[in-house]
Amino acid sequence: MTTIRLENLVKSFGSFTALKTMDLEIGNGEFVALLGPSGCGKSTTMNMIAGMEAPTSGRILFDGRDMAGVPMGKRGVGFVFQNYAIFTHMTVRQNLAYGPKARGWPKAKVDAAVAKIADFLQLTPMLDQKSAKLSVNILQRLAIGRSAIVEPAIFLLDEPLSNVDAAFRAVMRTELKHLQREFRQTMVYVTHDQLEAMTMADRIAVMDHGVLQQVGTPIEVYNDPVNLFVARFIGAPGMNLVEGTLAETDRGLAVDLGAFGLSPPLPAALAGAARTAGAKEVVYGFRPEEVTLRTEGPGLRAAVGFVERIGARTIVHFGAADRALKIVAEPSTAVSVGETLSIEPVAASVRLFDKASGRAIK
């Protein structure tokens, strides 16, 4: 096991800076997801950890040792890409055995390792099949197995599930987590899929435009996004965000939400933070899952636009595009299109952001 430390890491390609600055510490045996939209610098960061790209400035340390000038083959990293690199003329067994054999492991050790990883990744039944005949799903599983078998101290995966189908992706999320627990590797996982990051990672590093926005456990980034970008990016559907103006009322500080009316007074701690920050123009946020929905009563009044019933839950979409809200309700919730309802956010779940800077007020 190995710790990874990124210090003031910067990467430019000519005049374009893909990674503006990155400071991150990844613990022994920790599973960290680098999460962000396409082009935010995730792969660039990963390629530098692997040793495929050299940083423009800054340092990468493994267990405190500076990796500058250390080639990929000497870093003890395993790497799985979106596009699996499998020797198609070989069988599954030969592919799995390739790395161990190249390292000169004795035959008994190679055989045991192949059996263990094949069992783990459910590849045992096809061990003697030619890889060319395998489905994309199985090929990606094999690619993971081929890297994992030599038990690298650091395992880097760059969008390994983006080419596989949805059902298989769900299975692999669980398997990858098990794999990491079993082999106790330090794992860095690049994805643009917040669900993958939320379900597998110990901590998530959320990135945008070459800048690390927030690092935290899945529940931290979900509950306490540091800015509007993270609030929008984490959660599906994402946080409801409504622009408003802070207003003192006789019951305390509230937010005037324009067409939605006045919000209930803010919880004391949030009101205190907003006063201290001198905030005026804000964005009022609440999670679609954390509301009470009623026909009448306090809250934001809005008309139901359409209802999405997806088995275990129902997503109710409200209002026109410019002030659309989404609410996750019980599957049995009876609502009709066009009906106006009251949406009352659970007080403790309300978040405020400064409109100009996008930063959370807390």
Residue among 223, 250, 240, 353 nearest 299 (CA)? 240
Structure tokens, 188:
């860095």
Return the number of the residue (40 or 201) whose C-beta is nearest ligand ATP: 40
Q: What span, in angstroms and rounded, lies between the C-alpha atoms of 312 and 287?
A: 18
Classify 209 in phi/psi space as left (phi over 0), alpha (psi -120 to 50) or beta. Answer: left
As measured in angstroms, the least distance from the Cβ of 13 to ligand ATP is: 3
Smallest distance from the beta carbon of 11 to ligand ATP, in angstroms?
A: 8
Of 110 and 143, which CB lies nearer to ligand ATP in the complex structure? 143
SS3 call for 22: strand
CB of 261 to ligand ATP, least distance (A): 40
Closer by beta carbon to ligand ATP, 192 or else 203: 192
Helix (H, G, I), strand (E, B) or coil at 129: coil
List beta partners, residue 130. 91
Token digits of residue 286: 């609440």
Q: Which is nearer to ligand ATP, 47 or 180 (CB)?
A: 47
Structure tokens at 338: 């066009």
Q: Interface with ligand ATP by CB under 6 A: which residues?
A: 13, 16, 18, 36, 38-44, 192
CB of 26 to ligand ATP, least distance (A): 17
Is residue 112 within a helix (H) or strand (E), and if so which, with residue range? helix 107-120
Rank residues 38 and 332 by Cβ distance to ligand ATP and give the closer one.
38
| Amino acid found at 327 | I
CB 39 to ligand ATP: min, Å: 4
- Which two tokens mark 308? 């999405």
Q: Which residues contact 166 (CB under 8 A, 6 or more apart)?
A: none
Cβ closest to ligand ATP, residue 15 vs residue 336: 15
Amino acid (1-letter code) at residue 362:
K
CB neighbourhood size of 257 (10 A)? 18
The two three-digit tokens of residue 241, written as one number? 């965000």
Other CB atoms closer than 10 Å to residue 280's CB: what's the count? 13
Select 6 or 96, whichever has its Cβ closest to ligand ATP: 6
- Report yes or no: 123 and 138 within 8 Å, Cβ to Cβ: yes
| Residue 153: CB minimum distance to ligand ATP, A | 23
Residue 193 beta carbon to ligand ATP: minimum distance, rounded to whole angstroms: 10
- Cα 132 to chain centroid, rounded: 32
CA distances from 176 to 25, 77, 117, 164, 171 (A): 21, 16, 12, 14, 9
Task: Give whichever of 39 and 272 is closer to ligand ATP, judged by the CB atom.
Answer: 39
Residue among 182, 215, 183, 185 at smallest CA distance from 197? 215
Residue 236's Cβ-side half-sphere holds a number of Cα atoms within 13 Å equal to: 8
Q: Cβ of residue 43: shortest distance to ligand ATP, in angstroms?
A: 3
Rounded to the nearest whole angstrom, what is the least distance from the CB of residue 202 to ligand ATP in the complex? 21
Shorter beta-carbon distance to ligand ATP: residue 54 or 346: 54
Nearest residue (CB) to ligand ATP, 215 versus 242 = 215
CB of 192 to ligand ATP, least distance (A): 6
Classify 103 as helix, strand or coil.
coil
